[in-house]
Amino acid sequence: MNVELRHLRALAAIGREGTITGAAAALHISQPALSRTLDQLEGRLGTRLVERTTRRLELTEAGQRLWEHACRLLNQLDDALAEVKAGPRPLRVGFAWATLGALTVPLLQQWREEHPDSPVRIYRRDDPEAALRRAEIDIAFLRTQPPPGFNAVALLRERRMAAVADTDPLADADAVRLADLADRQVVLCATAATTTASLWPPERRPRTVEVANVDEWLTVIATGDAVGVTAEGTRHSHPYPGVRYVPVLDVDPVTVHLVWPRNPAHPDTEAFREHVRRAVGAVRSARERVGLS
């Protein structure tokens, strides 16, 4: 089909920037040149990739699929070229809100001690699953169902926590139930899929409001405008002035998964997976011994 790298870079930039103007600026070319490149790509493939109107630009279904493939191929190519010049790159570990709570820093410190020549970099991504598909990261901690086409291992199960203002009557409770929150406004974060209104029975679902990120989520809660429900790792990763975390008793815990591609892009992926598995297993065994005693 005679598709060239410049065609893929054009589509990748358009999907990333959302406009021809922004994509042209990112690629340092003129808008007419970018439009011609897109027209060439669509012509060679024989299908529409981008729907353009006077007000907006959207990838078609075919465009979205090719965009993710293009991003992955280009990222892998850029990584390979960078390694030729600078040597092996760090293993990129992604997460949305929290990695492994209090385990995170000791786990990374131990990895550094045991693998001094294999650095790890942590990246927060609003959608780590999509970042995996685009090869922006190599492995990810997810608190959602692992996507098809990837390897995954369940690491641990975290309690659900209610997040409330420290002036809220529930702030000093030892624990709460979903019914205690049903008459409140519940704030949902667009970058976290662990909590939706479907946690509550249909007849007792609360009013909800959605915000864009964790900072907005915490601010809305701290001011008393809403309450939130999250996984336990958030309590460690996001302490916040004016916010208290209280366990929720009558809802299933959240499973934390470690997820990576079936064909790993980084040679240390398997070693890191095993390192995480051992670290979590050691903590779980210690907790079980304490419980038995």
Shared domain for 168 and 235, answered yes or no, is yes
Q: Long-range contacts of range 169-172, CB-CB < 8 Å, 24 or more positions apart?
A: 170/227, 170/246, 171/244, 171/246, 172/244
103 and 76 co-located in one domain: no
Would you state the pLDDT for residue 110? 95
196 with 166, same domain: the answer is yes
> How many separate domains does the chain show?
3
Looking at the fold, whether 20 and 137 belong to one and the same domain comes out as no
| Residues 51-74 pLDDT 10s | 987 667 899 999 999 999 999 899
For residues 145 and 276, membership in a common domain is answered with yes
Kindly report the CATH number assigned to the domain that includes residue 174.
Answer: 3.40.190.10
Q: pLDDT (tens digit, 9 = 90+) per residue, 112-160?
A: 999 999 999 999 998 899 999 999 999 999 998 898 889 999 999 999 9
Residues 192, 224 within the same domain: yes
245 and 288 fall within a common domain? no
**What is the length of the chain?**
293
Burial class (CB in 10 A: 0-12, 13-18, 19+), 66: buried
Same domain, yes or no: 232 and 166 = yes
Same domain, 247 and 165: yes
The domain boundary, picked from 58, 85, 112, lies at: 85
CATH number, position 63: 1.10.10.10
- Residue 47 and residue 56 in contact, taking contact as beta carbons nearer than 8 Å: no
Query: Strand, helix or coil at 281?
Result: helix
Residues 260 and 139 in one domain: yes
Of 136, 139, 132, the closest CA to residue 118 belongs to 139
Q: Residue 190's domain spans which residues?
A: 160-252
Interval 163-209: pLDDT, tens: 999 999 999 999 999 999 999 999 999 877 789 999 999 999 999 99
Give the integer Cα–Cα distance in Å for 131 and 242: 32
Most confident of 79-93, 183-197, 241-255, 269-283: 241-255
Q: What is the mean pLDDT of the chain?
A: 91
Domain boundary (36, 60, 85) is at 85
Same domain, 140 and 272: yes
| Residues 261, 151 contacting (CB under 8 angstroms) | yes
Q: Is the pLDDT of residue 291 over 70?
A: no
Query: Is residue 110 located within the same domain as residue 146?
Result: yes
Give, in order, the Cα–Cα distances in Å from 201 to each of 53, 72, 159, 190, 252: 42, 40, 19, 21, 14
